[in-house]
Amino acid sequence: MADRYLSFTGTAPGRFLTRRLGLPRPAPLRRWSPERPDLDGGLLHLTAGKSDLDLAPVLARTGPGTDDTTGHPAAVVLDATGIRDVEGLAEVHAALHPVVRSVATSGRIVLLGAPLDPADHHQAAAQQALEGFARSLGKETGRGITVNLVRLTDAPAAESTLRFLLSPRSAYVSGQTIGVDAPDTPAPYDVDRPLSGRTALVTGAARGIGEAVAETLARDGAKVVVLDVPGAEADARRVAERLGGTALPLDITAADAGARIAGALPDGLDVLVHNAGITRDRRLANMPAERWIPVLEVNLASVLRTTDALLAAGALKRGGRIVATASIAGIAGNAGQTNYGASKAGIAGLVRALAPHARSEHGVTVNAVAPGFIETRMTAAVPLFIREAGRRMNSLAQGGLPADVAETTAWLAHPASGAVNGQVVRVCGQSLLGA
């Protein structure tokens, strides 16, 4: 369903009324397209504190990739990895205070921080302060500008993450803190089609967000396997045919689902996207077991079983990627969704616990995306006032699109994203709930 309020605020009467009444004024977001794959404008690289990072080669290959000379940068990168005390935070203020108003519409501000040092509580306090600073700034900037914090120790390890955050692909990702550690050297890949030669399986891919994820992974070169329940086989085959992939009709809750997936992919799997999910909303006092059990079974238990089976069978190749779908409901909670919220919080627990073992034992990373309000057929059926509240209660004052979740998934699936592991990344426009 079209966001008519967003369209109205782009008109002269809309701008006048929203300004007079103090209403949200969302800016149309610049998303990726083949015609405009990069942000429009240059990059401003700033430093606060003494940094040991050599960022210049990495920044030259990512995002705008050139120094800003216009005075209105499309992106600002502030290296604050050297901040070790409260006094150093004054340099963060001094660096960004003069330029924050000049960032272009739909621009990007990325802060770079260091991991917290458990042996130095002053450093830990100052670096943790960057998180509160970034989230607060993200709620101030407006005009479609996003603000994120990346914690890193190695600049090349963060290249795929910076490329994502400094591009139109990250239009609906803001207020996030993303940890990047030092990865193994990625296998060679095609910059324009990084998933070429790789096989990706997406569950619940016959429609909605799953279809968008399958489409984006195919765009990036993957051979996509479109998995959905037998009842959606016709839609799954339609999607697979359009993307040059294959359909796999299968009930993901079946006890042998993992074995059947492995059997259908004798050459192995490079990317596994757990997207399938259902809702059976009702307040707990009115929720019978018949509404509780299916949600936990589809959204969480099947993910655990299938992942365990595929890892045990060696079906996921070294360098593989597992991306699961959590939800803002699992972070902030949502009335009427104790079952759904529990299942999605469980996904976050799975990711954080499994990630270190999966990488050390199998060479596979495990991450999750946590969508907020995304414009789908399901949210279009939500009552008007609840739908409008969902759209506006984030820093960008609008709903996201399935493509936003898909682009984030594609970044996590990238061959060069091996340094990103155990992360739960919200795709919610910096929701005011659970932020």
Catalytic residue numbers read: 340
- Report the 3 state secondary structure along 238-285: HHHHHHCCEEEECCCCCCCHHHHHHHHCCCCEEEEEECCCCCCCCCHH
Contact 336, 283 (CB under 8 A): yes
CA distance 391 to 112: 29
| Spatial CA neighbour of 350 closest among 300, 416, 407 | 300
- Residue 236 φ/ψ, nearest 5 degrees: -60, -40
CA distance 218 to 62: 22
Strand arrangement of the beta sheet that strand 108-113 belongs to: 43-49, 75-82, 108-113, 146-151, 177-179
Residue count of the chain, please give it.
435
Strand arrangement of the beta sheet that strand 365-371 belongs to: 246-249, 223-228, 199-203, 269-274, 316-325, 365-371, 424-427
CA distance 169 to 63: 10
In the block, tokens 């765009």 appear at: 219
Q: What single string gives the DSSP state of each residue in 159-171?
A: HHHHHHHTSGGGT
Contact 366, 351 (CB under 8 A): yes
CA distance 262 to 415: 21
Q: What token pair was written down for 126?
A: 């100052």
Contact 31, 396 (CB under 8 A): no
In the block, tokens 């949600």 appear at: 295
